[in-house]
Amino acid sequence: MIGAASVHSSSLLESPSHAAGKRPFAIQITTAAGICAILDLLAQGKLPQRGFVRQEDVLLKDFLALLPRTLPAAFEFRHDSWFSDATWELLKAHGAALCVAETEERTTPDVITADFVYYRFRKPSYSGEERNAMLARIREHLAAGRDVFAYFKHEETPEGALYAVDLLRGAGQT
C-alpha cells in the first residue's frame, strides 16, 4: 500500500468521529497516544513533577515502550546526533519507523526500522531523475511487502500534489 496515513486498528481510541461510525484521523490517534505516553511517564516519576516538561526530558526508549504496538509510529529527527545505530536499533526494537525527511538543508539516512516506511519530501522541487530514484526505492519497499507513506511539500505551489500523483501512477497505485 502506498498513500496517506491510515489507521489499521479501530480499537485504539474512541473519538467522537469514531463513535459516529467514522474512522478517526491518524493524527487524532497518534496525538492521543503521545499524550497518554507522556502522562504515563509523568505518573511513573520519569518526568519533572513541576514546571514545564521539555522535549529533552523525555527519553526515547521510555516513550517508545509506552506506545501501543498496534499504532504505526514514525519519528522524525531534526538533529544529526540522532542519526546513529543506537537510534535505529531502538526504533527497530519497538517496530517504529524512521521518518526519512528531505529538505534543502538535511536528508535523513534511509534506514528501514519497521515493516513500513515513511518519507517526507520537503524540497521545493525535484528533478525527473530525483523522482525516478524515489519511485525505484518505493517499488523496492512495495516488492518487499512494506507499506509506504510518502508526503510531498504542499504549501505555495501545486508541484507537491503533481509529484504525488506521478509517484502513485508509477507505483501502480491508481
SS3 call for 99: strand
- What pLDDT is stored for residue 10 in this prediction? 34
Give the residue range(s) of CATH 3.20.20.410 domains in the chain.
73-174
What angle, rounded to 10 degrees, do the helices at 128-143 and 159-170 form? 40
Structural contact between residues 2 and 142, judged by C-beta atoms closer than 8 angstroms: yes
Task: List the Cα angle 12/115/63 in 5-degree steps.
Answer: 55
Q: Specify the CATH architecture of the domain 73-174.
A: Alpha-Beta Barrel (3.20)
Residue whose C-alpha is closest to residue 152's, from 171, 139, 165: 165
Four-CA torsion 148, 154, 159, 165, nearest 10 degrees: 40
pLDDT tens for the chain, residues 1 to 174: 444 433 333 333 444 454 566 776 666 777 788 888 888 888 889 888 888 887 778 889 999 998 888 888 999 998 899 999 999 999 999 999 999 999 888 889 999 999 999 999 999 889 999 999 999 999 999 999 999 999 998 778 888 888 989 888 988 876
Structural contact between residues 41 and 47, judged by C-beta atoms closer than 8 angstroms: yes
The C-alpha atoms of residue 78 and residue 3 are separated, in whole angstroms, by: 23
pTM for the structure as a whole: 0.76
- What is the amino acid identity at position 20? A
Which pLDDT tens digit goes with each residue over 120-135? 999 988 999 999 999 9
Residue whose C-alpha is closest to residue 100's, from 91, 110, 88: 110
